[in-house]
Structure 1
Amino acid sequence: MALQGKVETEFEIKASADQFYNVFRSQAHQVPNATPDHIQGIEVHEGDWETHGAVKSWKYTVEGNAEVFKEKVEFDDANRIVTQVGVEGHVMKDFKNIKAIYQVIPKGDGSLAKLSVEYEKLREDVPTPDKYLNLMANVTKDIDAHLVKA
């Protein structure tokens, strides 16, 4: 059984790629307002809301459990990619490395959201991080709905 891998999904959203990307790029503090069932809070530890390399903690609920994810964020403005590199938190008890990657690509009047989780497990008995990919998909759909009605 491989310890390293990647899980991914993609689906269309109604918001423009720039609209969606800018939420993570400069308005991450607004995410809990758009998706309160999944994200309960975000706190900056180093840098600020817009800085590449900023360190933030996310308080979230996954499969009914409250967890915390401390990440170092990386932005690729040209390709509208946000990468959240795991630093600390609940997920790090099972994974040596984990990256949550959001990419949005313009498509018609909306966008194509491509989500992935790259990981390296600490042990073979650790399941693939599908629950975190599902969380990302739910957050993306909630943000999209919030942007479309705004």
Structure 2
Amino acid sequence: MSSLCGKLETDIEIKPSPKKFHDMFKHKPHHINKASSDKIHGCELHEGEWGTVGSIIYWNYFHDGKPRVAKERVEAIDDEKNLITFRVIEGDLLEHFKSFTLTIQANPKPEGEGSVVHWTLEFEKLHDEIIDPHTLLQFVADVSKDLEDHLLNDV
């Protein structure tokens, strides 16, 4: 791997079950803006069906002080592992990155109820002056925490 390729990871502990968190990103990503309206302004299905590999999802979000967009293809879904992978195919991120994927996996907490949400951002920068997307990693962590309250109150 060249220095242009990178990977960032973080874990966020939340109270809802891994399945509940996974199902939100799989079947209802268009509801995430209700839980995280300051960050996620909208999410639309452009091709396919919610919860299916190959579907194209279009996000409107607010990051680093600016409104942004991302069109993503669902690359992988593993319900047993509560895992989903999105590949960015259009949008603001591709101004700086040749490729960008986000993988979310919700694992049961080792002790008791709840989940540990593991985010992985894998990317290839267009050139070496582009900084690693640490602010985006913090952004997805914050969205996960916003979802915690929504999922606990959602029946």
Superposition TM-score, scaled by structure 1 size: 0.96
Q: Is the Cα–Cα contact under 8 Å of residues 108 and 114 in structure 2 kept in the other structure?
A: yes
Question: Where does structure 1 differ by over 6 angstroms across 4 or more consecutive aligned residues?
Answer: none
Q: Is the Cα–Cα contact under 8 Å of residues 59 and 66 in structure 1 kept in the other structure?
A: yes
Q: Which residue of 2 aligns with 1:125?
A: 129
2:81 paired with 1:79: yes
State how far apart, in whole Å, the 1-side matches of 2:15 and 2:128 are: 39
Identity of matched residues, %:
37
Question: Shift of the alpha carbon at 1:66?
Answer: 0.4
State how far apart, in whole Å, the 2-side matches of 1:101 and 1:51 are: 15
| Letter aligned with residue 29 of structure 2 | A
Structure 1: any 5+ residue segments left out of the alignment?
A: none
Question: Over the residues paired in the alignment, what is the CA RMSD in angstroms?
Answer: 1.1
Q: How many residues align?
A: 150
Superposition TM-score, scaled by structure 2 size: 0.93
Question: Shift of the alpha carbon at 1:56?
Answer: 0.8
- The within-5 A match list for 1:39-78 is 39-73=40-74, 74-78=76-80
| Letter aligned with residue 126 of structure 2 | L
* Per-residue CA distance 1:87-132 (angstroms, 9 max, x = gap): 0000001000101111100112101111110000000000001121
* Per-residue CA distance 1:2-38 (angstroms, 9 max, x = gap): 1001011112110100110000111111111111011
Structure 2: any 5+ residue segments left out of the alignment?
A: none
| Letter aligned with residue 115 of structure 2 | S
